[in-house]
Every structure is written in C-alpha cells, then in structure tokens.
C-alpha cells in the first residue's frame, strides 16, 4: 500500500488548491466528554469540512455510527462540498484516532485519493499554523460512490469467518479484550470473540503517527497475525478497527476488512460466543 499520510508542510502548500479538501473527522469516546462539532466551530484548518461520524451514519440501526448506504453517504458528503476528483486530506484533533475511520468510510465508497494528515490537528496547532472559526463555507458538490463490499463485514460474515478460523484482529485495549475491564458502553460485557487476536490500536500510534512499518510487522507477528492471509478487524464500535486496518495494509496485508457493528453489536447478541481470559 502506498503511504497515505501527508505532512503539515505538504498541506500548508496545498491549502489553496481547489482540488484538495481538508476534512475534520474528529470523534472521541463518550467518556472523553468532548464535543468535536463545537471544537470545529471554535477553530479548524482553513477550508475544512466537518465529517460528523455520529451524524453521517445509518441511524435505523441501534448501533453507533454505522456506515450509510452509498446513495445516502453520497448525499451527505456532497452537501459538505466533497465531490468527485478531489484529494481528501483527513485529520482529527487527537492526532491519529478517528481520522482512519473516515479514511475507511471513503475507501468503502471508492474514493480514489484519500490522505491522512500526519500529526493531525495537534501538530498543526503546535506549529502555529492558521486556523479559521465558524461553520464550513464550502459549496455543495457531486459525489459519486463506487461501493466496495470487500472492505466491510457484518455479524453473519464475522460468525462464518470465526467458524472458518479466519483471523479476526481486535483493536480494543487488552483489559477489555480479556474481560478484566468494563466496556465504555453500559450493559455490554467485555471479553472477545473465540480465536481473536488482540492488537490494541493505541499501541500502533505514537506522536500522531503510525509506528514504523518494521515495528508494526513485529507487533502483528507477535499477535500471531499472518498479513498474507485475510484479516477482519474489529474494536468497540468500528473506529479504532479502522486504525488497525490501516496499519495492517501498510504492513503488507492485502485482504483486510472492518466489522462495522464491532463489539457494540457482537457483545450485545445472545447468539454470539464471548470468551474471557
């Protein structure tokens, strides 16, 4: 996989390019008590559009930020001014936490040129680069989706994959994976899927960047993951699973998909087997 990251210097040089659109994909766990939409209004990279992970979502399901159907996704992002032929540069205000989720959503929809800002908003701000306030001023655009079903998995597909011993990699912290620590969403048991590997997403990131590829490969090998075989990533709600997918692809994996319902769905189902260590 070609490295999708761009530097703050690169973005600063391309801010006035009409074919480059900056996308703020900030999202935080409910326990963080942060409101990314309000933070966007208070200050964001000039020209950016705000991608609301919870708002641009299929709310017909009682699950957090599920992927929209292609036509609805196209309408939502087109209204933000994201259109065909554009280079997307996605960032978040944690450094590198939720931006990969937005990268994955656009990847599923077939967007050909998606980048992620290395270091995200914190690095941009630390370098005293320009910010603007208020809502986005971008004009609506036409976005044409080209849905790629190979990048997303549902519960039944994951259940079949587990039975076939396909690798499932879980990005949640080790304590939640093992069943020692509680889930942040009330009522959900902690634990993991039978046979799943644990690669906590927070361990993949340092200073708003993914760790060097050699380190990533070592981590995957230690977790028993063969990047030459299919891998399904999961987490609590599909956000950090996307970070894990990105890291796997940079490490050479070619067949990687995200379980969109993730533990929010799996852990709540009576027909799902939950294992604790």
Return the pLDDT at 128. Answer: 98
271: in domain:
no
SS (H, E, C) the chain: CCCCEECHHHHHHHCCCCCEEEEECCCCCHHHCCCHHHHHHHCECCCCEECCCCCCCCCCCCCCCCCCCHHHHHHHHHHCCCCCCCEEEEECCCCCCCHHHHHHHHHHCCCCCEEEECCHHHHHHHCCCCCECCCCCCCCCCCCCCCCHHHEECHHHHHHHHHCCCEEEECCCHHHHHCCCCCCCCCCCCCECCCCEECCHHHHEECCEECCHHHHHHHHHHCCCCCCCCEEEECCCCCHHHHHHHHHHHCCCCCEEEECCHHHHHCCCCCCCCECC
- Same-domain status, 140 and 157: no
Place of tokens 């996704």: 73
Return the pLDDT at 61. Answer: 87
Return the pLDDT at 10. Answer: 98
- Choice among 235, 244, 246, 264 that is catalytic: 235
142: in domain:
yes
Domains in the chain, number? 2
Return the pLDDT at 228. Answer: 97
Domain boundary pick from 147, 162, 187: 147
213: in domain:
yes
160: in domain:
yes
- Same-domain status, 143 and 157: no
Give the separation between CA 218 and CA 262, rounded to whole angstroms. 25
- Same-domain status, 212 and 133: no
We report the CATH number of the domain holding residue 99 as: 3.40.250.10
Return the pLDDT at 186. Answer: 87
Is 57:149 a contact under the CB 8 Å cutoff? Answer: no
Q: Nearest 5 degrees, angle CA 163-CA 250-CA 243?
A: 65
Sequential pLDDT tens for the chain (277 residues): 889 999 999 999 999 999 999 999 999 988 889 999 999 999 999 999 999 999 999 999 899 999 999 999 999 999 999 999 999 999 999 999 999 999 999 999 999 999 999 999 999 999 999 999 999 999 999 999 999 999 999 999 999 999 999 999 999 999 999 999 999 888 999 999 999 999 999 999 999 999 999 999 999 999 999 999 999 999 999 999 999 999 999 999 999 999 999 999 999 999 999 999 8
Is 108:148 a contact under the CB 8 Å cutoff? Answer: yes
- Same-domain status, 115 and 187: no
Return the pLDDT at 30. Answer: 82
273: in domain:
no
Catalytic annotation present for 252: no
276: in domain:
no
- Same-domain status, 71 and 96: yes
Reading the block at residue 111, the tokens are 């967007």
Reading the block at residue 59, the tokens are 């709310």
Put simply, whether the predicted model's pTM sits higher than 0.75 gets the answer yes
Domain boundary pick from 92, 120, 147: 147
Please classify residue 127 by burial: count the beta carbons closer than 10 Å to its beta carbon, then call 0-12 exposed, 13-18 middle and 19+ buried: exposed
- Same-domain status, 87 and 103: yes
Place of tokens 């929809």: 109
Give the separation between CA 6 and CA 62, rounded to whole angstroms. 36
211: in domain:
yes
Instruction: Please name which of 210, 219, 207, 218 lies closest in space to residue 250, comparing C-alpha atoms.
Output: 210
Q: Nearest 5 degrees, angle CA 273-CA 274-CA 277?
A: 140
- Same-domain status, 48 and 177: no
277: in domain:
no
Return the pLDDT at 43. Answer: 98
- Same-domain status, 58 and 12: yes
- Same-domain status, 81 and 155: no
- Same-domain status, 127 and 158: no
Q: Nearest 5 degrees, angle CA 237-CA 32-CA 197?
A: 35
Can you give the residue range of the structural domain that contains 175? 150-266
Place of tokens 């039944």: 156
Q: Determine how β-strand 205-206 pairs with β-strand 209-210.
A: antiparallel
């Amino acid at each position: 996989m070609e490295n999708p990251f761009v530097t703050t210097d690169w973005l600063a040089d391309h801010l006035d390019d009409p074919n480059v659109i900056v996308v703020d994909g900030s999202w935080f766990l409910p326990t963080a008590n942060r409101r990314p939409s309000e933070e966007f209004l208070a200050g964001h990279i000039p020209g950016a559009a705000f991608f609301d992970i919870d708002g641009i979502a299929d709310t017909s399901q009682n699950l957090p930020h599920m992927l929209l159907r292609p036509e609805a996704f196209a309408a939502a992002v087109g209204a933000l001014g994201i259109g065909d032929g554009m280079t997307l540069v996605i960032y978040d205000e944690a450094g590198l936490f939720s931006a990969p989720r937005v990268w994955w959503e656009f990847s599923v929809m077939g967007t050909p040129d998606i980048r992620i800002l290395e270091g995200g908003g914190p690095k941009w701000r630390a370098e005293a680069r320009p910010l603007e306030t208020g809502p986005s001023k971008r004009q609506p655009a036409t976005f044409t989706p080209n849905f790629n079903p190979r990048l997303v998995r549902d519960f039944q597909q994951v259940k079949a994959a587990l039975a076939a011993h396909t690798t499932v990699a879980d990005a949640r912290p080790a304590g939640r994976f093992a069943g020692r620590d509680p889930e942040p969403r009330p009522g959900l048991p902690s634990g993991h899927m039978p046979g799943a590997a644990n690669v906590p997403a927070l361990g993949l990131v340092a200073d708003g960047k993914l760790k060097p590829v050699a380190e990533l490969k070592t981590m995957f090998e230690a977790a028993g993951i063969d990047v030459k075989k299919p891998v399904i990533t999961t987490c609590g709600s599909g956000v950090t699973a996307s970070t894990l997918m990105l890291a796997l692809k940079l490490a050479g994996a070619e067949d990687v998909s995200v379980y969109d319902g993730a533990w929010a769905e799996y852990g709540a189902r009576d027909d799902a087997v939950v294992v604790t260590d």
